[in-house]
Amino acid sequence: MTVQTTTTPTYQVTDPATGEVMETFPFATDEEVEQALADASTAFATWKATPIEERAAIVKRVADLFAERAEELGVIILEEMGKRLSSGSGEAEFCKDIFDYYADQGPALLASTDLPGHEGKAKIQRLPIGPVLGIMPWNYPYYQVARFVGPNLVAGNPVLLKHAENCPRSAAAIAKIMDDAGVPKGVYTNLYATHEQVASMIADPRVRAVSLTGSERAGTAVAEAAGRNLKKVVLELGGSDPYIILDTDDVETAVDTAWATRMENMGQACNSNKRMIVMDRVYDDFVASLVKRAGEMVPRKGQDDGDAAYSPMASRKAAEGLRAQVQDAVDKGAVLHVGGELADGAGAFYSPAVLTGVTPEMRAYREELFGPVAVVYKVSSDQEAVELANVVDYGLGGAVFSGDEDRARAVAEQLDVGMANVNTPAGEGADVPFGGTKRSGFGRELGPLGIDEFLNKRLFYVER
């Protein structure tokens, strides 16, 4: 997921609708970072020895508090990064599902298993490894944290959490939930860390692994530091997911689904349908219907939650970057059918856009457009659709739609991605693994694979 890191003097809340700085938070001191590392190291000894049923019960309480506080949590991220209120509260409620899943299923997922052919003598144990560092993004301030923290708390790994610089209030709200749920001191610590402090934590032997959701640039830096210090790392980076329409008997319904998917979180989602690849027999009607929907949208006012209202992007800088990508395409011959206008002033309202005619020399062809722009391509064969889908360096997810399921499955089987979907934008759920391939990163979160990343899968062998 491409998530830009802000470079501010402090952690701060900036209203993306106006550009107004609403509150600032100081960076952690080096002494606070050292204390957090010491506390996590000390807590590991007792947390890993705590019966898993007790760990799960605390995580279950975390889940309940996310649900109980969903509305207030939604207001916080409305102000921090512009998410519409219903989406923000819905995100908090989904966090309950994630924490519940690991609380309920964790004991079974972490149970030792016999090694086939060596029953009674050899088994694989799934044990915690120690304190883990999470570096989290702004686009889903609660959900991204939940899918990292939930499995690690149940597994017995203390968590050090560095959130995005523009999400200090949501970071504090999560830390309060952990405290109120009874998470012991040192088992979860929120740090308003600097980039230099993050590097020092990765190098510190008390930190055993690191997970980052963010940009390729951030992922490269974290992976380099982790590799240099022999640390396990999970990366969830950029995406430019193909969304292939092979055929449809109902163009309007197909467009409704495609547009709603693209506009989720103002297009600031890692697995959004950033490249719509449409068969020529459907293409003209599909584009016309997309243009109509985009043209009907108006800027959101206050807490307006109507479907026709679009939110600001997370920051003026992000909106300006998207505008530059679109302008590059237009300058080189692409057609901007509607939208693509950045509002005057310091706010981050960027009108939803539809772009066609994108070709390989344009930035939009290979770069991720992390915002409300639907890029539509016309193809004339299933093989052409596959080739176009796989041409980019990303490999997060992809979706294929057709009235002929066998045809859609055959195309989806050829997608070079971590998540291939047939006749749905994405398979989703706390129990459904999430992650990509190529430059979209490596490792998995959620589901049974999510709890498996930061474990010592120890062989325990008894000769008899």
* Residues 172, 95 contacting (CB under 8 angstroms): no
| 420 beta partners | 398
Domain assignment present for residue 154? The answer is yes
pLDDT tens, residue by residue, 111-144: 999 999 999 999 999 999 999 999 999 999 999 9
pLDDT at 6 over 80: no
Same domain, 449 and 332: no
Same domain, 328 and 374: yes
Same domain, 100 and 248: no
In terms of residue numbers, what domain contains 107? 11-237+441-462
Task: Provide the CATH number for the domain around residue 129.
Answer: 3.40.605.10
Domain assignment present for residue 388? The answer is yes
pTM summary value: 0.95
Domain assignment present for residue 257? The answer is yes
pLDDT tens, residue by residue, 401-455: 999 999 999 999 999 999 999 999 999 999 999 999 999 999 999 999 999 999 9
Catalytic residue among 79, 80, 91, 236: 236
pLDDT at 7 over 70: no
Domain assignment present for residue 74? The answer is yes
Closest to 270 in 3D by CA, of 165, 143, 452: 143
- Name the pLDDT band for 8 (thresholds 50, 70, 90): low
Same domain, 136 and 200: yes
Same domain, 259 and 219: no
Domain assignment present for residue 124? The answer is yes
Q: What angle do CA 447, 450, 451 make, to 5 degrees?
A: 105
pLDDT tens, residue by residue, 29-63: 999 999 999 999 999 999 999 999 999 999 999 99
Domain count across the chain: 2
Same domain, 230 and 247: no
Q: What is the pLDDT of residue 1?
A: 40
Q: What is the pLDDT of residue 192?
A: 98
Same domain, 193 and 323: no
Q: Is 405 noted as a catalytic residue in this protein?
A: no
pLDDT at 4 over 80: no
Domain assignment present for residue 127? The answer is yes
Same domain, 316 and 373: yes
**Average pLDDT in the chain:** 96
Same domain, 134 and 120: yes
pLDDT tens, residue by residue, 138-162: 999 999 999 999 999 999 999 999 9
Burial zone of 60 (CB within 10 Å; 0-12 exposed, 13-18 middle, 19+ buried): middle
Catalytic residue among 80, 270, 367, 445: 270
Same domain, 42 and 173: yes
Domain assignment present for residue 6? The answer is no
* Residues 141, 314 contacting (CB under 8 angstroms): no
Sign of CA dihedral 398, 402, 407, 409: positive
Closest to 14 in 3D by CA, of 275, 265, 317: 317
* Residues 70, 4 contacting (CB under 8 angstroms): no
Same domain, 334 and 291: yes
Domain assignment present for residue 418? The answer is yes
Task: Provide the CATH number for the domain around residue 338.
Answer: 3.40.309.10
Q: Is 95 noted as a catalytic residue in this protein?
A: no
